[in-house]
């Protein structure tokens, strides 16, 4: 859940009944919010950037977007008036898959992932996910829950870098 930095009060989905909440049209989060929080006035928009821009300019009251993507876009677009408010309660398990007829590739991917140390994972998190969005510092436990969903993509990057060095 992302809100403007001047938002006061509870920003959980359960408390946002009647409020306009941006979601990216066609994404799983749209279906999740629509099904679990029918009182929320969903505003489906074209993409995550449009959701964050609409929120920044006050056209919606909150946005539900992936934390890793939101962090990247907020920094890239130079949006300074947004903050992380709450965990939406929804996570998408991420995994790396290979075709069944590619056992060597599967072994390389598994070896690459296994070789990523905890310190390297922390460096990946620090590079790709800014936990102080909008000046809000989040507890480590909550941050780790949020990061779990967004860590798959950076791990793919780390795995491919490791695989490239192994050749």
Q: Convert the pLDDT of each residue in 60-76 to its tens digit.
A: 999 999 888 888 898 88
Asked whether residue 8 falls in the same domain as residue 79, the answer is yes
Asked whether residue 93 is domain-assigned, the answer is no
**pTM across the whole model:** 0.61
pLDDT band at 95 (very low <50, low <70, confident <90, very high): low
Q: pLDDT: is 166 or 25 the higher one?
A: 25
Q: Same structural domain for residues 79 and 108?
A: no
What percent of the chain stands above pLDDT 90? 35
Give me the domain span that covers residue 109.
103-166
Q: How many domains does the chain have?
A: 2
| Residue in this structure with the two tokens 């510092």, named with its chain if needed | 137
Asked whether residue 97 is assigned to any structural domain, the reply reads: no
The CATH number of residue 7's host domain is: 3.40.190.10
Closest by CA position to 94, among listed 16, 14, 156: 156
92 in a structural domain: no
Instruction: Determine what percent of the chain is predicted with pLDDT higher than 70.
Output: 71
Instruction: Tell me: do 65 and 9 sit in the same domain.
Output: yes
Q: Is residue 160 predicted with pLDDT exceeding 70?
A: no
Q: Give yes or no for residue 34 having a pLDDT over 80.
A: yes
Per-residue pLDDT, averaged over 34-47, amounts to: 95
Confirm whether 91 is domain-assigned: no
At residue 115 the predicted structure's pLDDT band, cuts being 50, 70 and 90, is confident
| 6 and 71 belong to one structural domain | yes
Least confident of 18-27, 35-44, 122-131: 122-131
The verdict on residue 30 lying in a domain is yes
The mean per-residue pLDDT over the stretch 47-54 comes to 97
SS3 19: coil
Q: Is residue 90 part of a domain?
A: no
Give the Cα separation of 129 and 99 in Å (integer): 30
């Amino acid at each position: 859940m992302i809100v403007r930095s001047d938002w006061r009060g509870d920003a959980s989905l359960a408390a946002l009944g009647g409020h306009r909440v941006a979601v990216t049209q066609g994404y799983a989060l749209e279906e999740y919010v629509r099904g679990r929080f029918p009182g929320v006035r969903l505003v489906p928009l074209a993409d995550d950037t449009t959701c964050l821009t609409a929120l920044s300019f006050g056209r919606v009251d909150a946005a539900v977007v992936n934390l890793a993507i939101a962090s990247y876009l907020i920094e890239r677009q130079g949006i300074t008036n947004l903050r992380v408010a709450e965990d939406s309660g929804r996570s998408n398990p991420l995994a790396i898959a290979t075709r069944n007829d590619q056992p060597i590739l599967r072994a390389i991917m598994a070896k690459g992932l296994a070789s990523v140390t905890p310190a390297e994972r922390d460096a990946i998190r620090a590079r790709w996910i800014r936990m102080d969005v909008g000046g809000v510092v989040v507890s480590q436990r909550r941050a780790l829950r949020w990061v779990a969903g967004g860590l798959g993509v950076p791990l793919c990057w780390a795995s491919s870098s490791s695989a490239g060095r192994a050749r």
